Amino acid sequence: MFAKNGRFKDDQSRTLNVAFAMLIWTSLCGGPLVAAEPALKAPAGFNVALFADDDLAHDVHCMTIDSRGRITVAGNGFIKRLIDSDSDGVADKAELFAEGPAIGVQGMYWHGSDLLAVGGEGLLRFRDRDGDDKADGPPDVLLKVKCGGEHHAHSIQRGPDGWWYLIAGNDTGIDAKYITLPTAPIKQPVAGVLYRLKPDLSGGEVVAHGLRNSYDFAFNRTADAFTFDSDDERDVSLPWYRPTRVFQLLPGSHAGWVTRSWKRPDESLDMPPVVASAGRGSPTGVVCYQHRQFPEKYRESLFVLDWTFGRVLALPLVRNGSAWKADPEPFLSSAGDHGFAPTDVEVGPDGSLFVSVGGRGTRGGVWRVSYPAGRKDKLTADSVTEDSSAIDKLRACLTAPQPLSSWSRARWQPLARQLGREPFLETANNDALLPAVRLRAIDVLTESFGGISETEAAELSQATPAEVRAKAIWSLGRTRVKPLDANVTKSFLLDRDPLVNRAALEAIVSAENVSDWSLLVDGIVKQLSGDDRFNRLTASRLIVRLDQDSFQSLSQAVVKTGWQGTLAYAVGYLPRSTAATKYGIQLAVRVLEGVHPVGLKLQAARLLQLALGDMVPPAGTAPAFEAYSTRVDLSAFERDLDPLRVRLTETFPTGDADVDRELSRALTMLSLANTKLLDKVLAKITDETDPVEDIHYLLVAARIPTPRNRAQAEAIARGLVRLEPKIVARKMHQDLHWDDRVGELYRELVKLDNELADQLVAQPEFGRPGHVLFLSELPQDLLPKVIDRYVQAISDDADYPWNNDVVFLIGESKQPEHRELLRRQLDQFKIRGAVLVILSQQPEERDRDRFVEGMEESQAEVLTACLDALTQLKPSQTADEQLALLKALRRLGTDEKEFLIREKVAKLLTRNFERDFGFVFGPPGYRPQNEAIQRWTEFLTKTFPAESARALGGDAETLTWLTEQLARVDWSGGNVERGRQLFEKRSCAQCHGGRRGLGPDLAGVTSRFSRNDLFVAIVLPNRDVSTRYQTTLFETKQGKVHTGLIVYESAEGFLLRNSTNQTIRIETTDIETRRTLPQSLMPGGLLKEFRSTDFADLLAYLKSLGGSSTPPSTTAR
């Protein structure tokens, strides 16, 4: 907690390592808040406290801090500030700044009193000219771009050069039309991009591309941009899967995302620096810590957020040549089962780290992480006044923390304008001053004073340390590019430090033109042949821009430097001339054949791929083969390619795993029908090899169009069958795309060997659940043999891991003993639905009770099968069956699919009792039909009074009480405002707010329900639960039980939201059982102690919510 003066209260801070700040509702009926166990873990010495809970900041998508240091959060339909009026470290209230956009914004930055936001139609600007802390009206649209989707445009920030930067996901569609500046480093952007706009927003360009879906980014002190890019979680355990990675975004770089099933490996010569890999996850916020409160190790570190696994990682940056590296360290994570879904991160004026939480309807809020023992600044931009000395103003300006933030700029920029340009230039040139101060001086010159001149840059080319020299040429490159002075740039290009070289190369890449390319030839040759791979990459991108004379000079000089320089030169030569193709192939093969370092051979393999047209699949390519295809038709070069095929077959394998992987990928582009090569490829698959590597080489084998001999067919079959046991033994995850991609592989292999299915079935280990996907190409006459193999495998393994695929396979059998085997599995919850579907195909009376139970299933296919089975059996009037039918009748009816199922239910009831109560069948009846359903309800509850009380989630006493209460109400006296207060007091808005997402929108509910039905639904929430809102129960191996709605799931785990609005994270490895319950999260007892006027008031408020924004339904709970 914070005292009034902002200093930490020592008597409280010493007792807290992690704040007891996760507060839960004792009930949803307005109970008091109570402290829970510590919710978040942080390193020793840090305090974690809840700055704002869900009631102030629900489901926060993004966050920023305004020019006065106030936290601003956004979610569906709102942008608001969180106000800490008494400076105690906890927000007291939320003030709405603007309503909308309806689906929220995903990036914000305050520019004075204006807010730039990414949402709605694109990049928006909300104005506040009158200073009342509220938007003046609807926003201006500054740039039209796709927003609102999870892979659309995201964060907006102002860079150290004063330009605006926008990061966007791979579905945003930023293409060449968005490039309006001649300085653009990228002319044809693909996938996700980092987009840059001039300070006045008059033009834009793409800085980097090839990202999948980065949400946020940050700049460090050397003006380098970093982002945290997503993996493709559905491709986990496939060869092209890439984990979440923190990239350093070099101007002109491509981050490797080509298609959904082809992402270039980190080692590829044309990839930007991978600062760190972080495994599975969903990246969200990124910030570079440039304050002084946290310990030294965290200063200039990146903090990156992972929504899926609920963690904040710290990445202390360490320079590695021209680039940066980091070893990720856990900084913040959930404690126990508490959910923590971080969405954004910012550094506040006092140096505390603020982390917002939310996303996909989860519990929102903002956490505050502080380090009480940290440094407290005496001199800040805030403390400087008009009467302060110039040196104090300069010092406060140059040491301003988080200088790129809105709140910091609001403090140091006025000081900079007062001081003028000269003090900053003197600071930049003063070798006696700290490097950090000199770097900031150049930043201020660049953003506020038009940068440095060529003469000033030339003087700084001799400065120490290297970071100052690098920042000098960076500034020149950001401000003096028409043309870039080659004479000045030359000295930076020839500098002894790779960081300086990179800054010079990037200045050239971003320049509209260069004054004299010939002056830069020596420097470019030096970089092409140097040890720094990223400088080689950027230098190679310049070759296409050279004038012809400079190109000739470079070509003659670079070959004299050796293999490394020549290879990097060839990469840059390819886009310059079609003649480079042959040159690139010949060079790559010579390197691969020769005695050279592994790193050089890996580059040669990539050069070969590029020379053959690169791994860019033509239209219609199966996703599994997108990384094993080329868009170039090589058929016209068959005669020239034959000698190449022979040489490469002899070259493979090289003995290095990375080189062999990329060389074999290149071989797939050549359609090598060579049985010797196939033998070599299959030899890479053994009982000990990694299954992901096995899939790669099986894909390569599928691209070798040669007949298979018996040994080769055996090796392929064994490789396929061994995939599952290898994955299980290594405890590897498989996700949604695994079966589809491996299925595509298998089908291609079958085209080359029509006896492969026989070989598979003959394998000793055949018969596991994962092998079912190989039966898609099975000859029909083999099916009985396959089923027998599965039955035997089940018999041999008491713990056989049944799944639905195995059930449906054995269900194909006509043998009674096989049907009995399936019947014995009905108590296995995870496959019960599949077994019922099979049994329903030939229903027997002895399974009738099971079909009745199956009507509780949320899966439409299972419910339909059970209804069809009962239709084929004799009519019945047993209470359990009729009430199960009634419950299904009441809960179905949200769309046409459910209307069709509901009709089956109504037909069964009509058959059983020979009456229909006016239920309308066919398309005219595809509507709620509340009256007919109510008449069925009254009839069956009177017919089976005791049973219906139990089955419908209530008792006669409760219903009698409610009927008597409603009869006494004067409905004409309802008051909307009193009803709203009741709605909020009973915490109904916690789930039924229009933005809350957990429960259905209540707009129009009074037109869908009769008055009596509406209050019955509130009193008895479990009576009719729509399948959409049924809860899931998880029991963990530790004996804990959690119930709620699943808001996110992946191969690794689930996010669950429970009735107290808590978000709970459950790891897949911890789950003992999981099952769907026909129960609602809505608690009973919400109308206890209601007076007659309360009923009228609540109804009046619900009526005021207007027309329905959801499909009509008889029930939605």
pLDDT, one tens digit per residue, over 1-36 is 223 333 323 333 333 333 333 322 233 333 333 334
- What does the domain layout of the chain look like in residue ranges? 10-369, 891-952, 958-1030+1078-1104
Q: Which single residue is written with the structure tokens 């350093």?
A: 248
Lowest mean pLDDT among 153-167, 539-553, 624-638: 624-638
Start-end of H helices in 403-532: 406-419, 422-429, 435-448, 454-460, 466-479, 486-493, 498-509, 521-528
Pick the closest to residue 852 from 839, 241, 52 (CA basis).
839
Q: Rounded to a whole number, what is the largest CA-CA distance in the chain? A: 100
Confidence of residue 956 (pLDDT cuts 50, 70, 90): low
> What tens digit of pLDDT does each residue of 961-976 get?
777 888 889 998 899 8
Residue 1117 confidence (pLDDT) above 60: no
Confidence of residue 841 (pLDDT cuts 50, 70, 90): very high
Which range has highest mean pLDDT (377-386, 556-565, 668-677)?
A: 556-565
Fold of 10-369: Neuraminidase (2.120.10)
Which contacts of 868-871 are long-range, i.e. CB under 8 A and separated by 24 or more positions? 868/840, 868/904, 869/836, 869/839, 869/840, 869/843, 870/843, 870/908, 871/904, 871/907, 871/908, 871/911
Nearest-5° angle of CA 362, CA 366, CA 370? 140
User: 650: which residues sit within 8 A by CB, 6+ positions away?
Assistant: none
Q: Which single residue is written with the structure tokens 């005496």?
A: 378
What is the rounded distance in angstroms from the CA atom of residue 691 to the CA atom of residue 734? 12
What is the rounded distance in angstroms from the CA atom of residue 551 to the CA atom of residue 563? 18
What is the rounded distance in angstroms from the CA atom of residue 693 to the CA atom of residue 942? 66
What is the rounded distance in angstroms from the CA atom of residue 330 to the CA atom of residue 325? 16
* Mean pLDDT value of segment 803-825: 95
Nearest-5° angle of CA 218, CA 224, CA 227? 40
In the prediction, which pLDDT does 92 show?
Answer: 95
What is the rounded distance in angstroms from the CA atom of residue 726 to the CA atom of residue 770? 11
The chain-wide mean pLDDT, for the chain, equals: 89
> What tens digit of pLDDT does each residue of 153-196 get?
999 999 999 999 999 999 999 999 999 999 999 999 999 999 99
Whether residue 617 contacts residue 262, with contact meaning beta carbons closer than 8 Å, is answered with yes
- Record the tokens describing residue 750, joined without a space: 């079958």
CATH architecture, domain 958-1030+1078-1104: Orthogonal Bundle (1.10)
What is the rounded distance in angstroms from the CA atom of residue 43 to the CA atom of residue 18? 9
E strands in 231-364? 245-248, 257-259, 262-263, 274-277, 283-288, 302-306, 311-315, 318-320, 323-325, 329-334, 342-347, 353-357
Q: Which single residue is written with the structure tokens 């019947």?
A: 823
* Residue 1062 or residue 789, greater confidence: 789
What is the rounded distance in angstroms from the CA atom of residue 407 to the CA atom of residue 79? 18
Exposed/middle/buried for 298, CB within 10 Å: 0-12, 13-18, 19+?
buried
In the prediction, which pLDDT does 996 show?
Answer: 43
Q: Which single residue is written with the structure tokens 């089976």?
A: 944
Question: φ and ψ at 24, to 5 degrees?
Answer: -125, 155
Whether residue 58 contacts residue 377, with contact meaning beta carbons closer than 8 Å, is answered with no
* Residue 1045 or residue 119, greater confidence: 119
In the prediction, which pLDDT does 383 show?
Answer: 78
Residue 71 confidence (pLDDT) above 90: yes
**What is the percent of the chain where pLDDT is above 90?**
72
Question: φ and ψ at 947, to 5 degrees?
Answer: -65, -40
E strands in 316-403? 318-320, 323-325, 329-334, 342-347, 353-357, 365-370
Confidence of residue 150 (pLDDT cuts 50, 70, 90): very high
Tell me 1001's DSSP state: -
User: 942: which residues sit within 8 A by CB, 6+ positions away?
Assistant: none
Name residue 62's amino acid.
C
> What tens digit of pLDDT does each residue of 562-621 get?
999 999 999 999 999 988 899 999 999 999 999 999 999 999 999 999 999 998 888 889
User: 123: which residues sit within 8 A by CB, 6+ positions away?
Assistant: 116, 117, 141, 142, 143, 145, 153, 156, 166
User: 57: which residues sit within 8 A by CB, 6+ positions away?
Assistant: 73, 75, 80, 82, 91, 94, 356, 358, 364, 365, 366
Tell me 925's DSSP state: G
* 675-682 vs 710-721: helix crossing angle, rounded to 10: 30
Return the half-sphere exposure (C-beta side, CA atoms, 13 A cut-off) of residue 349: 21
Identify the bridge partners of residue 165 per DSSP, sorted by sequence position.
157, 196
Whether residue 59 contacts residue 47, with contact meaning beta carbons closer than 8 Å, is answered with no
> What tens digit of pLDDT does each residue of 692-713 get?
999 999 999 999 999 999 999 9
- Record the tokens describing residue 447, joined without a space: 């953003």
> What tens digit of pLDDT does each residue of 37-67 get?
458 999 999 999 999 999 999 999 999 999 9
* Residue 17 or residue 915, greater confidence: 915
Helices (H) and strands (E) in the chain, counts: 39, 36
Identify the bridge partners of residue 186 per DSSP, sorted by sequence position.
206
> What tens digit of pLDDT does each residue of 344-403 get?
999 999 999 999 999 887 789 999 999 999 877 655 666 788 889 999 999 999 999 999
Name residue 1085's amino acid.
G
> What tens digit of pLDDT does each residue of 432-456 get?
999 999 999 999 999 999 999 999 9
> What tens digit of pLDDT does each residue of 757-790 get?
999 999 999 999 999 999 988 888 899 999 999 9
